[in-house]
Amino acid sequence: MLRRCGVTVGNGTRIEAAVRAKERRELIERVRNMNRQLHTPHANETTRLHIKMAAQTDVCSPIVVRPLAPLLAKEGPGEVLSVSKNPPRSPLGKGGRQNASLMGYGTRVLVAMTLAFALVTPAHGADESTMLTIYSTARPGAIPADLYKPSTRGGRNQNAYMMIPGYAVVKQERDMTLDGNRVSLRFSDVAAQIDPTTVSFSSLTDPLGTHVLEQNYQFDLVSAEKLMERYLDRKITVEQVQGDKVETFTGTLLSTGGGLILKGNDGRVQVINGYSNVQFPELPGGLISKPTLVWDVTTKKPGKHRVRVTYETKATTWWADYNVVFTPGKDANSGLLDFGAWVSIVNQSGATYNNAKLKLIAGDVNRAPQPERRHARRTMDMAMASVAGEAGFQEKSFFEYHLYTLGRPTTLPDNSTKQVELFPTARGVPCEKVMVYYGLSSGYHGGYGKPMTDRNFGVQANKKIDIYLRLKNEKEIGMGMPLPSGRIRVSQVDTADDSLEFIGEDTIDHTPKNEEILIKLGSAFDVVGERTQVDFKVDTRRDRMEETIEVKIRNHKEQAVKVIVKENLYRWTNWTITESTHNYIKADARTIHCPIEVPKDGEVTVRYTVKYTW
């Protein structure tokens, strides 16, 4: 007895086939298996299918599976597989086939086919293992949220995956059977963004006796457009709803532009617009449901082999985010930090990696120039995951980089963002709050090629005093782990309601252990500076000039503060401080630092004279 089996695509498209009861039960079981290994195919296909199984008119609950792929059934053909467009209620009555919308095409397609081209592929067994090493080419904090979240307008960022700054190396192992000395192997579970030139195949069972003669990457994916192209100059049947009837037209397809042009058996040519259904006798050869690797392999040891497939894929990256909580210390220039680190991983490669062993490479890995792609599409869902209390990342040096290996398997769904803790939060890390006053406006750093003798050059003043948190990445204070580049967000607890309030953020580059970390938070509100040129003399005959600068720092806080007055001696390379009210430190060839302490509600004036000669 035949029973109806249907599939409904996420955008409303419904596909149906009549199968035997035994085949239907097998299909349901395979769909449930596939629910555990959801896989999104090529970018032009809908990313999610809702499978509905029906016996007569009874419909079970939807099950999410991979889109259109071979069932590889054991028995004979079913009746009809259909895809349809925006129809009115079916004229065939209550038990008839329902119409729906075809992905961006506008037709309804009926394909008489065998169950070998039905709805799902069987899930791989537990013998498969996946290893994933992800590389990031992003600047710290430079990945916008639009790359990993849905659009606020209700749609998706269609081209986001093209801008993902990173890539991954995928290594998959599975058992495959080599039936003879020379066989053809098909490997279909690969990322849509794969770089085919990076693929390698090897047998772990017989590495010396097994060789690849040829390798092919097939990506001619089935679609309504492809079916129409393949059936040009071939016979098809077209249905059109006229009132409460369905008219059927059969003929040779001559063209699809501006409607379907058919040539009948009697030689008459007609143009059909507004058709509701197209029937094809069979699925043309050469079309596949997802990207597939095919190898022509020779072996001296036929039988079961453990094989490893390695390839590189685009549209995958990672970055570090540091969440820091600042607690004020005993004075205005000290404090304690709770320093937490997370990694965010974006996967838009077109594949799901189930129970994968995850590795992250931190460092500046050189890459050959990559050609730019002009256009492509991808939709995206977002899934955030935090993991605690289990095996986390283990760090080690690797070549001249650092490798972070997650101590447990994890699943990275396609079109998702996952967050994993990089290391446990380091609590009570002592830090110094540093205030720096740089009175010059931006752009005056020296190196002009000649002495700058214009007295008005660079006298414009800046009043803002910048605030930094400074700490050392050393084990003695609870840190000491090599830190990947990333963004640091700092918050402070409001004791009135114990809520965290954001107080600033900055980025850091890759930071080894025992190196200093400097985090810029913003500008002080109650501490201000003022820079004034009080004297200027130039003697061009004797090739020298003198300039006297006065800097005032005013503190309106209820406690004393320490401030570093930073001065850039930008007028010429040869300079000497002839007078100074405070001690200073020569930071570099053009910069001096004057550390001062300003009492509460007080003011301190720094005055110095510099002589330039040439």
Largest CA distance in the chain: 111
> Average pLDDT in the 264-272 region?
91
Banded pLDDT at 528 (limits 50, 70, 90): very high
Share of the chain above pLDDT 90, in %: 56
DSSP 3-state assignment of 230?
helix
Dihedral over alpha carbons 413, 418, 423, 426 (to 10 degrees): -160
Beta bridge partners of 580: 608
Q: Which of 224, 174, 219 is nearest to 196 (CA)?
A: 219
Q: What are the structural domains, with CATH classification, of the chain?
A: 2-117 (no CATH), 232-280 (2.30.30), 525-614 (2.60.40.290)
> What DSSP state is assigned to residue 495?
T
Q: Which of 585, 577, 569, 586 is nearest to 608 (CA)?
A: 577
pLDDT given for residue 490 in this prediction: 97
Pairing of strands 561-568, 416-438: parallel
**Least confident window among 46-50, 121-125, 407-411, 570-574:** 46-50
Beta bridge partners of 334: 432
pLDDT over 70 at 458, yes or no: yes
pLDDT given for residue 390 in this prediction: 56
> Average pLDDT in the 341-367 region?
93
Query: How far is 275 from 286, CA to CA, in rounded Å?
Result: 27
> What DSSP state is assigned to residue 165?
-
**Least confident window among 204-213, 214-223, 395-404, 595-604:** 214-223
Q: Which of 424, 425, 419, 395 is nearest to 407 (CA)?
A: 395
Q: Which of 108, 103, 73, 99 is nearest to 9 (CA)?
A: 103
Beta bridge partners of 307: 174, 203
> Average pLDDT in the 100-113 region?
33
Query: How far is 315 from 374, CA to CA, in rounded Å?
Result: 15
> Average pLDDT in the 107-124 region?
34
Phi, psi of 589 (to 5 degrees): -65, -15
CA 289 from centre of chain:
24
DSSP 3-state assignment of 250?
strand
pLDDT given for residue 449 in this prediction: 83
> What DSSP state is assigned to residue 483?
B
pLDDT given for residue 139 in this prediction: 81
**Least confident window among 71-75, 134-138, 206-210, 313-317:** 71-75
pLDDT given for residue 188 in this prediction: 82
pLDDT given for residue 25 in this prediction: 56
Query: How far is 55 from 27, CA to CA, in rounded Å?
Result: 13
Q: Of residues 384 and 407, which shows the higher confidence score?
A: 407
Q: Which residues lie below 8 Å from residue 246, measured CB to CB, with a gap of 6+?
A: 91, 92, 239, 240, 276, 277
3-state secondary structure 64-130: EECCCCCCCCCCCCCCCEEECCCCCCCCCCCCCCCCCCCCCCCCCEEECCCHHHCCCCCCCCCCCEE
Query: How far is 174 from 189, CA to CA, in rounded Å?
Result: 11
Query: CA of 524: how far to CAs of 329, 431, 434, 456, 507, in Å?
Result: 17, 18, 11, 28, 19
Q: Which residues lie below 8 Å from residue 484, measured CB to CB, with a gap of 6+?
A: 319, 320, 343, 360, 362, 402, 404, 422, 510
Average pLDDT, rounded, for the chain: 78
Phi, psi of 571 (to 5 degrees): -70, -35
Pairing of strands 277-280, 602-613: unpaired
Helices (runs of H) and strands (runs of E) counted in the chain: 2, 37
pLDDT over 50 at 193, yes or no: yes
Banded pLDDT at 28 (limits 50, 70, 90): low
> Average pLDDT in the 271-277 region?
88
pLDDT given for residue 601 in this prediction: 96
Q: Which of 212, 200, 215, 206 is nearest to 304 (CA)?
A: 206
Q: Which of 290, 120, 309 is nearest to 212 (CA)?
A: 309
Query: How far is 535 from 75, CA to CA, in rounded Å?
Result: 99
175-189, 242-256, 360-374, 600-614: range with highest mean pLDDT: 600-614
pLDDT given for residue 288 in this prediction: 73
Residue pair 150/382 in contact (Cβ under 8 Å)? The answer is yes
Place of tokens 């004979």: 76
Rg over alpha carbons for the chain, rounded to the nearest Å, is 34
Instruction: Report residue 73 as tokens.
Output: 């059934």
pLDDT given for residue 371 in this prediction: 60
